[in-house]
Structure 1
Amino acid sequence: MEIGITTFVETTPDVETGKVTSHAERIREVVEEIVLADQVGLDVFGVGEHHRKDYAASAPAVILAAAASQTSRIRLTSAVTVLSSDDPVRVFQEFATLDAISNGRAEIMAGRGSFIESFPLFGYDLKDYDELYNEKLDLLLKIRESEMITWSGEHRAAIHNRGVYPRPVQHPLPVWIASGGTPQSVARAGVLGLPLVLAIIGGSPLQFAPLVQLYKNAAEQAGHDVSKLTVASHSHGFVGENTESAADKFFPSTQAAMNVLGRERGWGPYTRATFDHARSLEGALYVGDAQTVAEKIIFLRKNVGITRFMLHVPVGSMPHHEVLRAIELLGKEVAPLVRSEIERWEAEEQ
């Protein structure tokens, strides 16, 4: 069971002071967070790509590379790369370079992205949303398999027997399919035999169990070894010294961030009752003390089949020292509890 962190490097106003951390300062803070995650024994750190004022990470590979030379074992991944509006050649080159700096610890999470700012920014039409992703994923996978590429498509210039460099330390460079939970994307990951990451940020995580089974069925039918498949979750949460104080610290910034998105997307107001309901065992928020968060992660593994759990913290902007403390508690207290119980449970299953 791998355990790690994801962040979108948010730069929203502090809910108490109204202060907005500069992009430069927040990026430096995230590098510090990655270094700490490595030190406390976490397995993976992911940085998500966005192209708007309230997120500072438009170039995740650069941020991850800054941390790569200061870390030794933690895996470094995008979370996600918005592949539909990017160039697969450049994506591969950037992450192959990260793989060299980190000596084989780079990963790509390839997704469509739930935000659309990158499409007009880079000159793409949203009506081509599905075609862009399918075509660019095809090219990315061909590049990781072969040094010399011949390829043609509808939305990018053709490539005729050209090499793509540098080549990564890992072969193949890990590429995950990131999904919000649509059956089509889950099945695609299975057919391709690629690892799957699910954004489990609302409702009940139990609703994702049939999707994980669909993924495995599709992989098996395509001839892949199901025992080697890995499934990750990306879920909001915060670890504190005790459960109630953790909830009180995490709620204000979460509410502010979710209400901004809600106004953009037509959702209803995000209330404390909504938040508290999601903190229940079968809810999608992983907020509390180490024991509480560990129990929820174990529940997710046993009932959904998740093999990598990534805690997304913060949601909105929180004091940097509180985020660091949550990372420390996740690595030093939550992860050992989860790994010990999973080992015991799997031994009994055998």
Structure 2
Amino acid sequence: MEIGISTFLEATPDPVTGSVISHAERLRHAVEEIVLADQVGLDVYGIGEHHRADYAGTAPAVVLAAAAAMTKRIRLTSAVTVLSSDDPVRVYQAFSTLDGISNGRAEIMAGRGSFIESFPLFGYSLDDYDELFEEKLELLLAIRASEKVTWRGGHRPAIQNLGVYPRSVQSPLPVWIASGGNPESAVRAGMLGLPIAFAIIGGMPERFAPLVKLYKQAAARAGHDPESLPIATHSHGFVGETTEQAADAFFPSTQAQMNVIGRERGWPAYDRSAYDAARSLRGALYVGDPEFVAEKIVLLRRNLGVTRFFLHINVGTMPHREVLRAIELLGTKVAPIVHKELARS
């Protein structure tokens, strides 16, 4: 089972001091995090694409490439690429370039986007939300399958027997489908035989079991081996020396950012009681000491059969030294416990 980090490169106001980290500093911090994650043996680092002031991750492939030459084995992925509002040709070129720099460690995680700022920014209508994703995913998969591409769709100019370069080191370049829990996304990924990543940020992770079953059934119907397809989850969390220390450190920034998003989406206020309930053994928050976080990951593996786990650090702005320590603990303490426990089963 692979264990790694995901981030949106949060650049939100510090909930204690009110100071705001610059985008430039957050980008440099991300490179440090990736290098450390590689050093402590983590398997993957993912950066989500957003186009708003409180996140610095508008160009994940560029940030990942900055760290690619400084790392040796960690896989580097978007988490996610908002494919609906991007050009699949440029997406492939960016990540195949990253694949070359990293010598075959790049991946694309494609999604429709739960944040919609990129649609007006790049001139797309939300009325075409689903159609855009389906069409652009079709083109992206055609590009990765063949050097010369002939393709026609409704939202992008046609391509007539043109080459797309550079070609990736990996053949094919890994493409994952990201889903927040939409059954149609699970079916689509299964039918295409693509790995899937579920974002589980609320409720009980075990409730995603029917979606995993739906995904595998769709894969089998389409002639794919469902047991060979990777399944990932992405959840918020933090690792500390003790569970109490981790919980107290992670709460202020998490509450602040969840309430910002909640006001935009009509969610109820996020308070300590909701937070504490979510970090229980069966909850969606992976916050605690290494033993407790490992126990939750093992439970997730047994309930959903996941092959990759992303711990999203951090939800809002936290001191950089604390984030680095959490990454170190995830790699040196949590991952070995998980691997040892799973080896017994």
Same fold (TM over 0.5): yes
Superposition pairs for residues 57-68 of structure 1, below 5 Å? 57-68=57-68
What is the CA distance between 1:343 and its match in structure 2?
A: 1.3
Q: Which runs of 4+ in 1 moved over 3 A?
A: none
Superposition pairs for residues 237-276 of structure 1, below 5 Å? 237-276=237-276
In the alignment, the residues of structure 2 paired with residue 227 and residue 129 of structure 1 have an alpha-carbon distance, to the nearest angstrom, of 31
> Which residue in 1 is equivalent to 2:118?
118
When the two structures are superposed, what TM-score results if normalisation uses the length of structure 1?
Answer: 0.98
In the alignment, the residues of structure 2 paired with residue 285 and residue 305 of structure 1 have an alpha-carbon distance, to the nearest angstrom, of 18
State the AA in 2 paired with 1:339. Answer: H
> Which residue in 1 is equivalent to 2:197?
197
When the two structures are superposed, what TM-score results if normalisation uses the length of structure 2?
Answer: 1.00
> Which residue in 1 is equivalent to 2:157?
157
> Which residue in 1 is equivalent to 2:43?
43
The DSSP-based 3-state class of the residue aligned with 2:36 is helix
The DSSP-based 3-state class of the residue aligned with 1:29 is helix
> Which residue in 2 is equivalent to 1:348?
none
The DSSP-based 3-state class of the residue aligned with 2:31 is helix
State the AA in 2 paired with 1:77. Answer: T
In the alignment, the residues of structure 1 paired with residue 245 and residue 147 of structure 2 have an alpha-carbon distance, to the nearest angstrom, of 52
> Which residue in 2 is equivalent to 1:173?
173
> Which residue in 2 is equivalent to 1:328?
328
In the alignment, the residues of structure 2 paired with residue 138 and residue 228 of structure 1 have an alpha-carbon distance, to the nearest angstrom, of 22
State the AA in 1 paired with 2:17. Answer: T
> Which residue in 1 is equivalent to 2:235?
235
What is the CA distance between 1:227 and its match in structure 2?
A: 2.1
State the AA in 1 paired with 2:148. Answer: M
CA deviation map 1:306-336 (0-9, x unaligned):
1100000001100000000000000000000
What is the CA distance between 1:10 and its match in structure 2?
A: 0.6
In structure 1, stretches of 5+ residues that fail to align are 346-350
Superposition pairs for residues 1-350 of structure 1, below 5 Å? 1-345=1-345
In the alignment, the residues of structure 2 paired with residue 50 and residue 42 of structure 1 have an alpha-carbon distance, to the nearest angstrom, of 24
In the alignment, the residues of structure 2 paired with residue 35 and residue 344 of structure 1 have an alpha-carbon distance, to the nearest angstrom, of 31
In the alignment, the residues of structure 1 paired with residue 223 and residue 199 of structure 2 have an alpha-carbon distance, to the nearest angstrom, of 26
In the alignment, the residues of structure 2 paired with residue 316 and residue 84 of structure 1 have an alpha-carbon distance, to the nearest angstrom, of 26
In structure 2, stretches of 5+ residues that fail to align are none
CA deviation map 1:261-283 (0-9, x unaligned):
00000000001000000011110
In the alignment, the residues of structure 2 paired with residue 241 and residue 122 of structure 1 have an alpha-carbon distance, to the nearest angstrom, of 44
State the AA in 2 paired with 1:67. Answer: A
